Structure 1
Amino acid sequence: MSPRKLIRTVRFHELGGPEVLTIDSLASPSLQANDVRIAVKVVGLNRADAMFRRGSYIEKADFPSRIGYEASGIVIEVGEEVNHLRLGDEVCIVPQMGLSQNGCYAEEVVVPNEYVALKPAGLTFAEGAAAWMQYLTAYGALVEIANVQKGDAVLITASSSSVGLAAIQIVNALGGIPIATTLTGAKKAAVLKAGAAHVIATQEEPLLDSLRGILGANNLKVAFDAVGGPQIAEIAEAMSPEGTIIVHGALSPEVTPFPLKIALRKSLTVRGYVFTEVIKDIERFRRAKQFIHSGLSEGTL
Structure 2
Amino acid sequence: MTTSAVTRAVLFHELGGPEVLRVEDVPLRAPGPGEVLFQVEAIGINRAEALFRAGAYYYQPTLPGSRLGYEAAGVVEAVGEGVTEFAPGDPVMAAADFDFGVHGVHGERVLLPRESVVRRPEGVDAVTSAAAWLTYSTAYGGLVETAGLAPGDHVVITGASSGVGTAALQVARRQGAVPIATTRGADKRRRLLELGAAHVITTDSEDLAGEVARITGGKGAQVAFDAIGGPGFAALGDALAPGGTTVLYGWLDHRPAQLSMNWPQTVHTYDNSKIVGAPDARRRVSAYLGSGLRDGTLAPVIAETFHGLDRVADAHRLMETNRQLGKIVVTL
Q: TM-score, normalised by structure 1?
A: 0.91
RMSD (Å), alpha carbons: 2.0
Partner of 1:34: 34
Task: Provide the rounded CA distance (Å) in 1 between the counterparts of 2:237 and 2:17.
Answer: 36
Secondary structure at the residue paired with 1:65? coil
Give the superposition deviation at 1:33: 2.9
Indicate conservation of the 8 Å contact 1:96/1:102, yes or no. no
Indicate conservation of the 8 Å contact 1:229/1:256, yes or no. yes
Partner of 1:98: 99
Secondary structure at the residue paired with 1:133? helix
The 1:106–1:234 alpha-carbon spacing in structure 2 relative to 1, beyond 3 Å, is: closer
1:48 aligned onto 2:84: no
Give the superposition deviation at 1:176: 0.9
User: Once the two structures are superposed, what CA deviation does each residue of 1:56-83 show, in whole Å capped at 9, x if it has no partner?
Assistant: 1112101221111111111111234223
Indicate conservation of the 8 Å contact 2:30/2:37, yes or no. no
1:283 aligned onto 2:280: yes
Give the superposition deviation at 1:4: 5.6
Secondary structure at the residue paired with 1:236? helix
Give the superposition deviation at 1:136: 1.5
User: Once the two structures are superposed, what CA deviation does each residue of 1:174-209 show, in whole Å capped at 9, x if it has no partner?
Assistant: 111111111122111111111111111111221111
Aligned letter for 1:197? A
Indicate conservation of the 8 Å contact 1:218/1:237, yes or no. no
Indicate conservation of the 8 Å contact 2:230/2:255, yes or no. yes
Partner of 2:176: 175
User: Once the two structures are superposed, what CA deviation does each residue of 1:126-165 show, in whole Å capped at 9, x if it has no partner?
Assistant: 2221211111111111111101111111110111111111
Secondary structure at the residue paired with 1:278? helix
Task: Provide the rounded CA distance (Å) in 2 between the counterparts of 1:297 and 1:59.
Answer: 35
Indicate conservation of the 8 Å contact 1:95/1:133, yes or no. yes
Partner of 2:20: 20
Indicate conservation of the 8 Å contact 2:184/2:202, yes or no. yes
Partner of 1:269: 266
Tell me the number of residue pairs that the alignment of Structure 1 and Structure 2 aligns: 296
| Structure index of larger Rg | 1
The 1:232–1:23 alpha-carbon spacing in structure 2 relative to 1, beyond 3 Å, is: closer
Task: Provide the rounded CA distance (Å) in 2 between the counterparts of 1:8 and 1:230.
Answer: 42
Task: Provide the rounded CA distance (Å) in 2 between the counterparts of 1:120 and 1:185.
Answer: 35
Task: Provide the rounded CA distance (Å) in 2 between the counterparts of 1:160 and 1:18.
Answer: 21
Give 1:297's match in structure 2, choosing from 294, 297, 309. Answer: 294
Aligned letter for 2:109? E
Task: Provide the rounded CA distance (Å) in 2 between the counterparts of 1:227 and 1:39.
Answer: 35
Partner of 2:162: 161
Structure 2 spans left out of the alignment, 5+ residues: 299-332
Q: TM-score, normalised by structure 2?
A: 0.83
Task: Provide the rounded CA distance (Å) in 2 between the counterparts of 1:116 and 1:198.
Answer: 36
Secondary structure at the residue paired with 1:66? coil
Secondary structure at the residue paired with 1:283? helix
Query: Which 10-residue stretch deviates more, 231-240 or 40-49?
Result: 231-240
Aligned letter for 2:268? R
Task: Provide the rounded CA distance (Å) in 1 between the counterparts of 2:3 and 2:107.
Answer: 19
Task: Provide the rounded CA distance (Å) in 2 between the counterparts of 1:287 and 1:238.
Answer: 30
Secondary structure at the residue paired with 1:36? strand
Structure 1 spans left out of the alignment, 5+ residues: none
Indicate conservation of the 8 Å contact 1:217/1:238, yes or no. no
The 1:3–1:81 alpha-carbon spacing in structure 2 relative to 1, beyond 3 Å, is: closer
